[in-house]
Amino acid sequence: MSTAAQPTTKIARQQRIRSILAVATVRSQSELADLLAAEGLQVTQATLSRDLVELGAIRVRAEDGGLVYAVRAEGGDRTPQTGVKKEVLDARLGKLCSELLVTAEASANIVVLRTPPGAANFLALAIDHSIIPDVLGSIAGDDTVMLVTRDPAGGEDVAARFLALADQG
């Protein structure tokens, strides 16, 4: 298994920060720096502070009353989003699959998901945010999402999982 190549550009770093804030409860810049360091990204506090400002990150009150960092959601939802539990992300993906997935087919490590016209980007974004370990990445067109799986023969299992999600809704 190969390790993921991770660019060290500002955009890549900021996208990683956005991804961390979407799934983790982060209470301080030092905690965020530690999470980035665990992924191999060494960031100074000054750089992290600038990145958070550029991303529009704000501190909001969490359910336990403490302050946590949040970034605005992508797409039409501009509500600040704090770390969301994996179960919530999975439930959201299941709902979207039941509403948007038309077909799912696989060949080796590639899965092709068909959606109604205009819905593929929306479904791909939900897949990316759900953090499915078997999926290396997604590419979306207008009505088609292509997924690449980590396992060279993992496409059939992933396609079956998405069809099952669609049937559960």
Q: Kindly list the domain boundaries of the chain, sorted by start residue.
A: 10-81, 86-167
Of all residues in the chain, the percent with pLDDT exceeding 90 is 49
Per residue in 141-158, pLDDT (tens digit) is 999 999 999 999 999 999
Sole residue written with tokens 């400002």: 53
Mean pLDDT, rounded, of the chain: 85
Give the three-class secondary structure for 50. helix
Q: Nearest 5°: phi and psi at 65?
A: 95, -15
- Mean per-residue pLDDT, 66-79: 69
Per residue in 131-142, pLDDT (tens digit) is 788 999 999 999
- Mean per-residue pLDDT, 36-65: 90
Q: Which fold has domain 86-167?
A: Gyrase A; domain 2 (3.30.1360)
CA distances from 32 to 41, 83, 136 (A): 11, 12, 24
pLDDT band at 89 (very low <50, low <70, confident <90, very high): confident
pLDDT at 78: 46
Q: Which fold has domain 10-81?
A: Arc Repressor Mutant, subunit A (1.10.10)
- Mean per-residue pLDDT, 108-133: 90
